Amino acid sequence: MTLSELLPSLGHAGLDRQLWPSTTHLDELGRVCIGGVPLTEVADEFRTPTYVLDEQDFRTRIRRYQSALPGVSIVYAGKSLLTTTIARWIAQEGLGLDVCSGGELATAMAAGVDPARIILHGNAKTPDELRDAAAIGVGRIVVDSPLEIAFLAGQVRARQTVLLRVIPGVDIGGHPAVTTGVDDQKFGFTIAGDRARDAVQRILNQPCLSLTGLHCHIGSQVADPTLYGQTIARMIALMADIRTRFGVTLPDLDIGGGHAVPYVAGDPELNLARFAEVIEHSLESACTAADFPRPALTIEPGRAISARAGITLYRVVAVKSQPGGRTFVAVDGGMSDNPRVALYGAKYTVALANRHTATPSATVTVVGRHCEAGDVIARDVELPADVHPGDLLAVACTGAYHHSMASSYNMVGRPPLVAVAEGRCRQLIRRETIADLLSRDCDVPSLPWG
Ligand SMILES: *Cc1c(COP(=O)(O)O)cnc(C)c1O
């Protein structure tokens, strides 16, 4: 038997191209390598847990969007994963950037992103955030409440371009935490009850605000492109109605992000070619039906660009088989670096990253180190039966909403974020140390070891 014939039975069968960063390969020692760097080397240099990001994968996904959707303006949702370096990649690739807090805005500015290319979101932007964004000259502010309109009108000096966030009434049928296109949730103005139209009226009454279009975002992990088709139809109908009532023809339509990516084998993914066809067809038919000029279209993918570029690298700390129960493989991270399992019941793909093994696989549950029974990383997954303390595990598809959602629960510092490309590592974010954590405690006389 050759090595490659053996490999599928060696616990590496799961290195599915759809799930792992595009540069992932196994070297002759059975080590998982990304960006030309064996993950064992990343662990040696930066310790574990560590988030690893494949720069080439990240950039390639952007380019796929650009070639599948020429003429559509692409704005990256920074909340999925943002550092100054990533903001620079976004700018270099010619994308706009979505931010939804003063911190994300500051990151973009520190990276030198052109403020005109930034969109500010949020259902509860603070007065300071609105004032700063307007002063900086952020390209578009997405208005999400009546008070925001009044506040902006009172604050802005130069004319500020705004979009209005509208709830299109399209239900993606997803987890309630990520379903944002339906009326009974916190974002935006409903079409029902004339809330959206009233808000348009209020904005148009403010000479210093320039309303150029509507925004909506129907939720996350949307794999069915026809849901975007329905969204476009509703939004164009509303834009035509706004023209009739107020005599303004809005030139911009932003349909948000939420494009699905697979986390485990067989998960659906939004197909970009189909998405492009649906967009084209629904824009064409809705605009023809309403005799409305085609608006400039914006989309805001986050996860679809950042998720698969990232993996999390853990070290196995303990392996325990409960009598009559499961085998638990406990690692040195957990819900502090990956809250998505506890939040949404998310599923993940795990691979042994540091060696070959001839041992057949066993069903195990990978758990974290935190003091909660719900601190699970992947339930009932296949790993080589000889997995043991000291092994390295890689978890796929953790680029989006991991670093950005991490906490320091149990006073465990957040992991570093390391970019890999062409055989080299570059640390983008360093590990949060215990000293960092204690430095926020106002009553520590001095560090016990310092
Ligand atoms: C979260 C969000 C996105 C990005 O969602 P993904 O699922 O990461 O693509 C885009 N636009 C808005 C307004 C959002 O809130």
Whether omega for the bond prior to residue 49 falls within 30 degrees of 0, making it cis, is yes
Contacts of 441 (CB under 8 A, 6+ apart): none
Mean pLDDT of 375-382: 97
Residues in the chain: 450
Quick one: which of 285, 274, 273, 194 has its CA closest to 233?
Answer: 285
Quick one: which of 338, 444, 325, 332 has its CA closest to 392?
Answer: 332
Answer yes or no: is pLDDT of 178 > 80. Answer: no
Instruction: Ligand 1, residue 303: give the atom nearest the CA.
Output: 8
pLDDT of residue 1: 46
Q: Indicate whether residue 414 lines ligand 1 (CB < 6 A).
A: no
Distance CA 211, CA 289 (A): 24
386 Cα: distance to centroid of ligand 1 (angstroms): 40
Instruction: Ligand 1, residue 259: give the atom nearest the CA.
Output: 9
pLDDT 10s digits, 226-239: 999 999 999 999 99
Q: Indicate whether residue 96 lines ligand 1 (CB < 6 A).
A: no
Contacts of 272 (CB under 8 A, 6+ apart): 64, 65, 68, 69
Tokens (6 digits) for 102: 């003063």
Mean pLDDT of 304-323: 97
291 Cα: distance to centroid of ligand 1 (angstroms): 30
Answer yes or no: is pLDDT of 276 > 50. Answer: yes
5 Cα: distance to centroid of ligand 1 (angstroms): 42
Taking each helix axis from N to C end, the angle separating 127-136 and 102-110, rounded to the nearest 10 degrees, works out to: 20
Confirm if 23 and 56 have CB atoms less than 8 A apart. yes
Mean pLDDT of 267-289: 98
Helix or strand run (H / E) with residue 270:
none
Mean pLDDT of 243-259: 98
Distance CA 86, CA 159 (A): 30
pLDDT of residue 2: 47
> In this structure, what DSSP letter does residue 414 have?
P
**β-strands 417-421, 392-395: how paired?**
unpaired
Q: Indicate whether residue 303 lines ligand 1 (CB < 6 A).
A: yes
pLDDT of residue 314: 98
Mean pLDDT of 404-429: 98
pLDDT 10s digits, 67-84: 999 999 999 999 999 999
130 Cα: distance to centroid of ligand 1 (angstroms): 20
Q: Indicate whether residue 397 lines ligand 1 (CB < 6 A).
A: no
129 annotated ligand-binding residue: no
Could you tell which of 65, 76, 189, 217 is best to mutate to test the pocket of ligand 1, judged by most ligand atoms within 8 Å of the CB? 217
268 annotated ligand-binding residue: no
Quick one: which of 273, 243, 244, 238 has its CA closest to 259?
Answer: 273
pLDDT of residue 292: 98
Distance CA 253, CA 216 (A): 8
pLDDT of residue 37: 98
Quick one: which of 251, 270, 252 has its CA closest to 260?
Answer: 270
Residue 371 among the catalytic residues: yes
Considering the candidates 33, 100, 371, 397, report the single residue annotated as catalytic. Answer: 371
pLDDT 10s digits, 88-146: 999 999 999 999 999 999 999 999 999 999 999 999 999 999 999 999 999 999 999 99
Tokens (6 digits) for 325: 């129960």
Q: Which of 169-173, 183-187, 188-192, 262-266 is modeled with the greatest confidence?
A: 262-266
Distance CA 79, CA 104 (A): 8
Rounded percentage of the chain residues whose pLDDT exceeds 90 = 90
Rounded percentage of the chain residues whose pLDDT exceeds 70 = 96
The domain segmentation of the chain, as residue ranges, is 3-54+308-438, 55-304
CATH superfamily of 3-54+308-438: Lyase, Ornithine Decarboxylase; Chain A, domain 1 (2.40.37.10)
Q: Whose CA is nearest to atom 7 of ligand 1?
A: 258
Contacts of 381 (CB under 8 A, 6+ apart): 348, 349, 350, 363, 364, 365, 366
Answer yes or no: is pLDDT of 11 > 70. Answer: no
Instruction: Ligand 1, residue 301: give the atom nearest the CA.
Output: 9
Cα Rg, the chain, nearest whole Å: 24
pLDDT of residue 180: 80
- Asked which of 13-22, 126-135, 196-205, 388-397 is least confident by mean pLDDT, the reply is 13-22
pLDDT 10s digits, 330-373: 999 999 999 999 999 999 999 999 999 999 999 999 999 999 98
Per CATH, the number for 55-304 is 3.20.20.10
265 Cα: distance to centroid of ligand 1 (angstroms): 23
